[in-house]
Every structure is written in C-alpha cells, then in structure tokens.
Amino acid sequence: MARADERRLKVLRAIVTDFVASHEPVGSKALVEKYQLGVSSATIRNDMAVLEAQGYITQPHPSSGRVPTEKGYREFVDNIEQIKPLSRAERTAIRRFLDNSISIDDVLNRGIRLLSQLTQQVAVIQYPTLHCASVQHVEIIQMADRRVLVVIITDRGRVDQRIVEFDRDLTPDAVTTLQQEFITALKCRTLSEASTAVAALLADPHHPYAKELARAGHIILDTLVEHPEERLLLGGTSHLTRHAASFHGSLQELLDALEEQVVILKLLNSAATNPLGDPHAVTVRIGEETHLEHIHGTSVVSTTYGTDDSVFGGLGVIGPTRMDYLTNIAAVSAVARYIGEILAGH
C-alpha cells in the first residue's frame, strides 16, 4: 500500500472513530489537533476530498465536516488489524455471571442481558437449534405403582420431562426393562434417528411389555418431535430509541422485523456459513449487506456459539451503522465463547 493510501486509511479510521463517539461530522481541523498524522491540515483536506470521491465519506452539509458512508464503515471493519480483547476483570465478570446459571434458559437470558449491557445495542440469541441434536441421557423414574417420569436430555441442553400413566401396576422388572429398551433406542442418536428407533421398538407386538412400551413410546415420540419454531431471545430494545435518528426514519420497521424474528433468524443462521470458513468467526454486515428491506442505517455483528466441532445457535447485536465495531466484535466473540463452553459443560 502506498504511503498516501496508508495515510488516507488512518484518516478514515479517525473519522469513523470520532463520528461513532460524537455523532457529529468530523472536520480536518479536529483531525489535525487530535491525531498525530504528521502532515498539514491542507494535506488532510486533500485526503478527505479523495476519500469522499471514492465514496468512503460524505459531507451532510456544505459547511460541515465529513461522516462515514456504509462503504467507509466496511473499509474500516475490513482493515481492523486486531480486536482489543476484553480486560481480565471483564472476562472474569462474564464468567462468574454466566457460571451462576441454573438452566439453559437461565444461561441464555443472562447472556442476552450481558451482551446488551456490554454493547449498548439490541442483543439477540437463538435458542440451540435441534436439527443436529442428539439424545444424551434417558431416565425412567417410577413415581407410583402405575406412573413413571420419563426424562430426556439432549446434547443441546434441552430437557423434556413427561409423566406416563399405565393401566396396570408396574413391577420393578418392568421399569428396568422399559429403561433399558429406551436407552438402547434413544441414546446418542439424533432426534430423527431416535424417533425411527422408538417406532421400530413399538412395532413388536410379542414383547412381554408391549402395552407399556406402546404407552410410554407414543409420549416419547411426541417429545422427540422438533418444535417447528426457532426461538429468539432479545434484550436491550430500549437502546434503539437512543439511535432513532440513525435509522433514517425506519425505526418502526426495525422493531417490526425484530418482532417477526424470521429475518433476524436468517441473519444468525447465515453466520455459520461466513466466507472465512470458521463457523465461530464474527461476521459484520453493514447497511445494505443485511438485506433488511426498508430498514436503512442498520448493522449486525453476529457469530455462533457451541463447541469446536458443533454449532448450537447464533447470537449477535443489531444497531445503527454508527456503532462501535471494535467493542461490539470483542463482546460478541467473548459472550459466544463463554455460552458455548457453559452449555457444552452442561
């Protein structure tokens, strides 16, 4: 990169940084006074003219300074050399806050609140997707002579508990047999595979406990059916009101999209197929790149959470293009990592 290009990139970085912080157009005089660029104000003005001609910055009014365009934000993000990691105190606080969670719902609710507080943006977290989930644990607990509790836990943290009532008393041998048969049919199988295995198990009319298997099996089959809706948790929507002007009058459309959730789910799901090939890399979509129709001035910083070889779901933040990308990328990455570790540990 030529020296002039390097300097113009520094000028662009300075304009983005100042505009994000102040929401005021940035002039050449402010850049010269604040940043050690090693050139005169005239050179800075020339650099700004070049950046404007190239579409990276624009001048809202004839007598004002410059503000970044979507192309300018993209150039800024693409040239981030290093993301400043969260401090040791921040990482410790995140870990302690999430470690106190008592369930998957608690982990995600805490995570959404934390991410919103760290970024001051709307935070979204997708519940663990179930299409690749497998059964991790099966237990049948006798509660009365004719009643058992069936507990099914998946590797995505989903826990289902169902009461099964029978027409006759269950012997200890019957309970043990039911437990063994369903463990064999379910454990370490995906939900769809487990459903097929249970259906095959119920097809044997000569089994000594065929009636009991059928009664419990039909309830288990209903339990294994994946919920058709994918759930999103949102936090910090009140932050949008502080940035209303940045959405160019389309704040209501953004609120509608958040409520409908379908478009946001597509954005989070697409994070797993980012161009870098790493499903846990942070993806930044700026302005038109979000493909949010009728919603202008919006950016999405997202990633996935899970283990090294498995994606559980997506999370991210949504806000104006005038956002602190460095802080948001670091926060999204850190919270995703800790949520993945905690859920994998569960």
DSSP string, 275-293: TTS-TTS-EEEEGGGG--T
Name the residue with tokens 């379910």.
186
Q: Which distant-in-sequence residues (6+ apart) come within 8 Å of 106 by Cβ?
A: none
Q: To which H or E segment does residue 254 belong?
A: helix 251-260
Name the residue with tokens 């690749």.
132
For the chain, 346 residues long, give each residue's pLDDT as a single digit of tens: 567 788 899 999 999 999 999 888 998 888 888 887 778 888 888 999 999 999 999 988 877 889 999 999 999 999 988 787 777 888 888 888 888 777 788 888 999 999 999 999 999 998 876 556 778 888 999 999 999 999 988 876 678 888 999 999 999 999 999 999 999 988 888 777 788 888 888 888 888 999 999 899 888 887 776 554 457 888 888 888 777 666 665 677 777 777 777 667 776 766 555 555 566 788 899 988 877 666 678 889 999 888 877 778 889 999 889 999 999 999 999 999 989 888 877 5
- The domains found in the chain, sorted by start residue, are 1-79 (1.10.10.10), 88-129+231-345 (3.30.450.40), 134-225 (3.30.390.60)
Q: Which distant-in-sequence residues (6+ apart) come within 8 Å of 129 by Cβ?
A: 156, 230, 311, 312, 313
CB 104 within 8 A of CB 158: yes
pTM over 0.95: no
Residue 216 CA to residue 202 CA, distance in Å, equals 10
Question: For the chain, percent helix, then strand, then coil, each to nearest 5?
Answer: 50, 20, 30
Name the residue with tokens 């289902």.
160
Q: To which H or E segment does residue 142 belong?
A: strand 135-144
In terms of residues, how long is the chain? 346
